Structure 1
């Protein structure tokens, strides 16, 4: 039996047109059984039925107070969590979530091509990736650099695009532990086309599998 994921795509602010492509991508990876929902009441059920919870381009305040408590308890007790793209634009009013994810979204320049640098090649989210690869995205800047509190996996080469605001050290994807749970986040994934990119698919598959605790 494949591990189950709860994929949550509720939006209370900007809604990405790429969400359906993202859900289809996760199903097509073939590694997980996907339960997709936008209903915050899904967090009233026992989350232990899932190996990981995935926030896929969520935005704004998307959980009830009870849902926040259940998600935090699930992760602290060993559950997995993965955030994709606008998951960093979520739950600004919940301090725990900012700690959980590792950083909060600040701004981004216009959508444009740029270059991703693979910093850590010894992680399931990055083992299949080249040292540098071209990608089109919004190149999120964060309110604070998470380095030092997370394991940085990918960073942006700001010399490859216009409008970057974090300088030479610009993390894009990382992993960390929270309680006894595992957390993976990637800022990539703005466009529907991204979810058809084999490199991005390998990145998602490895990162989510790691968060779910099903890879070494």
Structure 2
């Protein structure tokens, strides 16, 4: 059975949506045959423990959460073919560890208030986006990033800054993407601020596609 480790430790801002996210990922696991373990304990991140998982899911984690040995175990896991999924505030994690920035693909910078916006599907040829309309109306916390990941990743979704107030990245503002690090597949989505998002079938399908895309094989 496929094993997923969901990690939601916070050493910074903590999202109220984390319990809803864990519940949704457990539901997806039950439906799709994934064995889902959820923890906020960084000591799970050892080479031995991670051998039991096919992918790790960072669910709105924040701040510095690992020591050097735990960092080394995660890096080895991904470079050797383990999958990485980052959801929403996962991009606010481990700012002083360059490898984690490589995993997430970009670092969170700022956001305006939660509000409706319009998402453009840039790439329908991916399990996380194949079910979506070309333009997807959605309410979320629209993240700006410290740098544009586009040169280094395959952008799947962007948000139209003309559809909401306060965006500062300009045209083609990326909010979901995929890429590889070593032998590992990575997927990140900036969506998922609200607890209600995790009850939406369209968003659950987005997460399910992102997870399946990083699994080895």
TM-score by length of 1: 0.96
| Counterpart for residue 170 of structure 1 | 173
Matched ranges for 1:68-79 at <5 A: 68-79=71-82
Alignment of 1:73-112 (within 5 A): 73-112=76-115
Taking the aligned partners of 1:89 and 1:196, their CA distance within structure 2 comes to 23
Deviation at 1:213, TM superposition (A): 3.2
Give the equivalent residue in structure 2 for 1:65: 68
Equivalent residues in 2 for 1:1-216 (5 A)?
A: 1=1, 3-29=2-28, 30-31=31-32, 32-44=34-46, 45-213=48-216
Q: Which runs of 5+ in 1 are unaligned?
A: none
Counterpart-to-counterpart distance in 1, 2:164 and 2:72: 40
Q: How large is the RMSD of aligned CA atoms in angstroms? A: 0.9
Q: Which runs of 4+ in 1 moved over 6 A?
A: none
- 2:81 and 2:216 in contact (8 A); partners too: no
Contact 2:177/2:188 (CA < 8 Å) preserved in 1? yes
Provide the rounded CA distance (Å) in 2 between the counterparts of 1:131 and 1:56. 26
* CA drift at 1:99: 1.5
Distance 1:196 1:120 in 2: 24
Gaps of 5+ in 2: none
1:46 Cα offset (Å): 2.8
Distance 1:213 1:199 in 2: 24
TM-score, structure 2 as length reference: 0.96
